[in-house]
Amino acid sequence: VAAKDSDLKISLLKSRKKRLKLQRSKIHDWGLLALEPIDAEDFIIEYIGEIIRTKISDVRELQYEKMGVGSSYLFRIDDEHVIDATVRGGLARFINHSCEPNCYTKIITVEGQKRVFVYAKKSITIGQELTYDYKFPLEEKKIPCLCGSKRCRGSLN
């Protein structure tokens, strides 16, 4: 749901930047940890990257795979567009998936541009890893999920 710009401004004003830390994750490789307590519904961080068309991202995905970057830092914002944070991206690209996440993402159109914002779904304590549900489309080739939550769905896609 694209909220109004004003909602975004209020939520950004309400919350100063959260102190976060990139650290080895128990889920996968690197993850983002909270360095201060975060309240439910607080704005945490924006998923920054280059907005590209889906067709371009499909080509890049193959290139990145060939270059061994593994799955790339791509965030789908709608049928036509993807945010590619692989080359020029913010810290949010390190947030891992969980089937019982403590964050959620909201896509908000600001001055005609769709942007992705990460909010806390529940209160988060210092040292907790940030996670959101990637909501990947179902695929044949499964990526096993290592979130470890009780109601883990078993795979990301």
- In the chain, the amino acid numbered 106 is K
| Residues between 128 and 147 that touch ligand Q2M (CB under 6 A) | 143, 145-147
Four-residue CA torsion sign, 24, 26, 30, 36: negative
Residue 59 DSSP symbol? H
Does 94 engage in binding with ligand Q2M (CB under 6 A)? yes
Q: Output the smallest distance, CB 145 to ligand Q2M, in A.
A: 4
- The count of chain residues that interact with ligand Q2M, using the rule CB under 6 A, is 20
- In terms of CB distance, is 8 or 156 closer to ligand Q2M? 156
Does position 28 bind ligand Q2M by CB under 6 A? yes
Interface with ligand Q2M includes 70 (CB under 6 A)? yes
Q: Does 43 bind ligand Q2M (CB under 6 A)?
A: no
SS (H, E, C) 62-113: HHHHHCCCCCCCEEECCCCEEEECCCCCCHHHHCEECCCCCEEEEEEEECCE
| Binding of residue 83 to ligand Q2M (CB under 6 A) | no
Q: Any contact of residue 29 with ligand Q2M (CB under 6 A)? A: yes
Q: Does 110 bind ligand Q2M (CB under 6 A)?
A: no
- Computed over its alpha carbons, how large is the radius of gyration of the chain? 15
Residue 134 CA to residue 99 CA, distance in Å, equals: 9
Would you call 70 exposed, middle or buried from its count of C-beta atoms within 10 A (0-12, 13-18, 19+)? exposed
Part of the chain binding ligand Q2M (CB under 6 A), chosen from 40-48, 50-58, 69-77, 113-121: 69-77
Contact residues: ligand Q2M, CB under 6 A: 25, 27-31, 69-73, 94, 96-98, 143, 145-147, 156
